[in-house]
Structure 1
Amino acid sequence: MLDIFRGLKGLVKPHSVTIDSSIFRLHYSATVTFLLAFSLIVTTRQYVGNPIDCVHTKDIPEDVLNTYCWIHSTYTIPSAFWKRIGIDVAHPGIDKTIDPEERRYVRYYQWVCFCLFFQAILFYIPRWLWKNWEAGKISALKMDLDQGIITEAEKRQKKKLLLDYLYANLKNHNFWCYRYFFCEFLGLVNIIGQMFLMDRFFDGTFLTFGIEVISFAERDQEDRIDPMVYIFPRMTKCTFHKFGTSGEIEKHDAMCILPLNIVNEKIYIFIWFWFLLLGFLTILVVIYRVLIIFSPRIRAYLLYIRFRLVKKECINIIIKKTKVGDWFLLYMLGQNIDSIIFKEVVHELARKLGYHNKDIYES
């Protein structure tokens, strides 16, 4: 088990080449790691030990009743959550079944581990798309220029190759850049879609789950239902039918304990708040990308504050004579190669684009 969790460390360790933003990395590194870890935890609890324990009679073997109720799902009575525990009902949601239509079936528990794994795959898809579309461009252009201590001859040769590529391919990187922006937008669509997916999974109770948990503590004792117990009941009912000795059908009502829901409720309250935070940050990123696309001034300002060694005049002429795709490529390169070498590359590119200043190399 520990070896499996150690294997997840590879998703969060830093990569030698940066090809995306830190918020985008939260989608495919932290979130995928969380979801896979949760899936493993639930799987272990589900298949090691008893995920369900039902109160049985001598007429029905314990294993038979447990297996039947696990496979065919259990249920609660929503109105019973409002009744007094130990006086009107035995447990929250457990009451006599008068009308079968009143039952609220709990069917999700055997699918939680699979759903979490499927969610992890969905979060990794934008990363997979971008990795294939990026096709190792940044790694190829980096050419070990992240190592500041290299021979002058080697540095000149690699700088010339990089400059020749940048100059020869000006205004040809927009489509490459827009595909990355699309992957970031796809991450936002994925979060929103998964919130609605889980709301459907939990019969329309997930979208407000976190809000209900927060407001639960502020309500009066008589007027509140614990949302964790309502969505993830610890005690449920199960109806088992069998033939009696006379050949007639007998009905047995059993109460079942779902210890797995103690784990599920903690997992999904964390997921609710994490998705809310990640969704908010991703919305800001999408707005930020729209501003970058339509505002050359913002692109120039971002280069000013990120690469302070580069002369502002050089940045201005590059922004004036290039497009957003070239800006994005330069920004990514600046994060991957040595700052001094990057400054020299940008200054030389600005000179090729028409910037003339005898002090360009002295800054």
Structure 2
Amino acid sequence: MYSAVKPLSKYLQFKSIRIYDAVFTIHSKCTFVILITCSLLLSARQYFGDPIQCLSEEKNIEYVQSYCWTMGTYILKQDNATSGNAQQAVRPSNANAAQWRAKHPRSRSDLRPLVDHDEAYARAAFIAEGVGPELRGVSEREYLRYYQWVIILLLVQSVIFVFPSCLWKVWEGQRLKQLCSQVGDALLSDETYNTRRRLLVKYFTTDHEDLHFCYMAKYVFCEVLNCVISVVNIIFLDVFLNGFWAKYLQALATLPFYDWDHWNRVSSKVFPKISKCEVLKYGPSGTVNVMDNLCILPLNILNEKIFVFLWCWFLLIAIVSVLNILCRLAMLSNKNLREKMIRSQLSFMTKRHVQRALRDLTIGDWFLLMKVSVNVNPMLFGDLMQELCELRTSSSISMMPDSAV
């Protein structure tokens, strides 16, 4: 398993040029690795066994298991009406409850071949949640087919979450790599230092207003897309698992009281570990024989842990994405906040000097300047801002009338 997951660790390594911020990285790259890892876990049969195992009197058990996996198993919806009718079918009366329990003890020896009709219903009533006596025309079935799509779903989700990252990589066009290459190290040669500083000064004193605004707008669009994807996946997960979170909250509510029996009953409504499967077999004369089989779904033990984690993870990154978008809007609408963000990267420049350096820079220029600040040597960025400040000062003096000078 480690050998299969190890290549994914390279995807999380920090690059020399960072074109994403921390929130973007967590949303796209980390989520992609988590989803791929979950799909690998579910497909590793050597660790968790076959996805379905059925108990049947049929000799060709492999056919039964393939049929149940393909056509889908089912559980019985447990409502008051159904459970009441089932109990009336197997229990004589409340007064004879003790005699009934003595007649039908809940033990392992009680799982011998079922012969008597009433005893069959009595024993089936406690096999598992949703697996019990089925009354024709009364009991309602809930078919389970989502487990056939779990691995495919995780793979599709991983592609969806990594899509904004790939989109931004295409739109970005290696602009930061061209601006910040060779100057991210702490120690730089004098020749490289001076050459890259002059190039950066020349670039930020040239008019690229439209280009930089489009650059910023595309990045903000990708951030909004990240948030939308996380919210849509939360809704889709609830639909895919048939009201997953509403049911699972009931199970989580039992944890503080250590009520594990209720936990198992409620969680089994979402991820049943035991289910039923009905196979039709035709006799020599064409008569249909219905075979009622009991199936175990081992992967649902892992599915419930994976989807609870994914739900919480999607909820977390959705909240973080919304907060990040609000912070981004605040920065774009508040000039003073943008100046403070630049000053946080500088330890020696005064507020007035920063304002003077940013005087002729547009909001798109500021955005790219912030990206540059986290990818270059701090001393180089400080000299860049100092030179921009001096150029703005000299240009303002040259524009003043002679009488004022």
- Are the structure 2 counterparts of residues 80 and 54 from structure 1 closer, same or farther at C-alpha, using a change threshold of 3 Å? farther
Counterpart amino acid of residue 301 in structure 2? I
CA deviations on 1:200-220 (whole Å, 9 max, x unpaired) are 2112x1343663343232579
Query: Is the Cα–Cα contact under 8 Å of residues 345 and 378 in structure 2 kept in the other structure?
Result: no
Query: Is the Cα–Cα contact under 8 Å of residues 8 and 33 in structure 2 kept in the other structure?
Result: yes
Whole-angstrom distance in 1 between the partners of 2:374 and 2:138: 63
- Are the structure 2 counterparts of residues 331 and 157 from structure 1 closer, same or farther at C-alpha, using a change threshold of 3 Å? same
Partner of 1:52: 52
Partner of 2:195: 157
Whole-angstrom distance in 2 between the partners of 1:37 and 1:223: 31
Q: CA deviation at 1:105?
A: 0.8
Whole-angstrom distance in 2 between the partners of 1:157 and 1:133: 27
Whole-angstrom distance in 1 between the partners of 2:48 and 2:362: 57
Query: Is the Cα–Cα contact under 8 Å of residues 196 and 207 in structure 1 kept in the other structure?
Result: no
Whole-angstrom distance in 2 between the partners of 1:192 and 1:298: 29
* DSSP 3-state at the match of 1:25: helix
Whole-angstrom distance in 2 between the partners of 1:207 and 1:310: 52
Partner of 1:36: 36
Partner of 2:235: 196
Query: Is the Cα–Cα contact under 8 Å of residues 52 and 70 in structure 1 kept in the other structure?
Result: yes
CA deviations on 1:124-167 (whole Å, 9 max, x unpaired) are 00000111111111110013122343333432222111111111
Partner of 2:255: 217
90-99 or 120-129, larger mean C-alpha shift? 90-99
Structure 2-normalised TM-score?
Answer: 0.81
Aligned pairs for 1:70-149 (under 5 A) are: 70-79=69-78, 88-98=125-135, 99=137, 102-149=140-187
Q: CA deviation at 1:317?
A: 2.3
Q: CA deviation at 1:302?
A: 1.6
CA deviations on 1:151-202 (whole Å, 9 max, x unpaired) are 3343222211111111103534111011001101100000011112212211
Query: Is the Cα–Cα contact under 8 Å of residues 275 and 297 in structure 2 kept in the other structure?
Result: yes
Counterpart amino acid of residue 6 in structure 2? R
* DSSP 3-state at the match of 1:251: strand
Whole-angstrom distance in 2 between the partners of 1:355 and 1:149: 31
Counterpart amino acid of residue 265 in structure 1? E
CA deviations on 1:238-281 (whole Å, 9 max, x unpaired) are 00101124420010111110001011111111101111111111
Query: Is the Cα–Cα contact under 8 Å of residues 235 and 257 in structure 1 kept in the other structure?
Result: yes
Query: Is the Cα–Cα contact under 8 Å of residues 231 and 315 in structure 2 kept in the other structure?
Result: no
Query: Is the Cα–Cα contact under 8 Å of residues 56 and 293 in structure 2 kept in the other structure?
Result: yes
Structure 1-normalised TM-score?
Answer: 0.90
Query: Is the Cα–Cα contact under 8 Å of residues 183 and 377 in structure 2 kept in the other structure?
Result: yes
Partner of 2:309: 270
* DSSP 3-state at the match of 1:306: coil
Counterpart amino acid of residue 19 in structure 1? I
Partner of 1:63: 62
Partner of 2:300: 261
Query: Is the Cα–Cα contact under 8 Å of residues 314 and 355 in structure 1 kept in the other structure?
Result: no
Q: CA deviation at 1:10?
A: 1.5
Q: CA deviation at 1:49?
A: 4.0
Whole-angstrom distance in 2 between the partners of 1:124 and 1:100: 47
Partner of 2:99: none
Rg larger in structure: 2
- Is residue 299 from structure 1 mapped to residue 338 from structure 2 by the alignment? yes
Q: CA deviation at 1:305?
A: 2.3
151-160 or 258-267, larger mean C-alpha shift? 151-160
* DSSP 3-state at the match of 1:208: helix
- Is residue 235 from structure 1 mapped to residue 274 from structure 2 by the alignment? yes
Query: Is the Cα–Cα contact under 8 Å of residues 318 and 353 in structure 1 kept in the other structure?
Result: yes
324-333 or 179-188, larger mean C-alpha shift? 324-333
* DSSP 3-state at the match of 1:139: helix
- Are the structure 2 counterparts of residues 224 and 5 from structure 1 closer, same or farther at C-alpha, using a change threshold of 3 Å? closer
Unaligned runs of 5+ in 2: 88-104, 107-121, 397-405
Whole-angstrom distance in 2 between the partners of 1:7 and 1:79: 45
Counterpart amino acid of residue 163 in structure 1? V
Counterpart amino acid of residue 281 in structure 1? V
Unaligned runs of 5+ in 1: 358-363
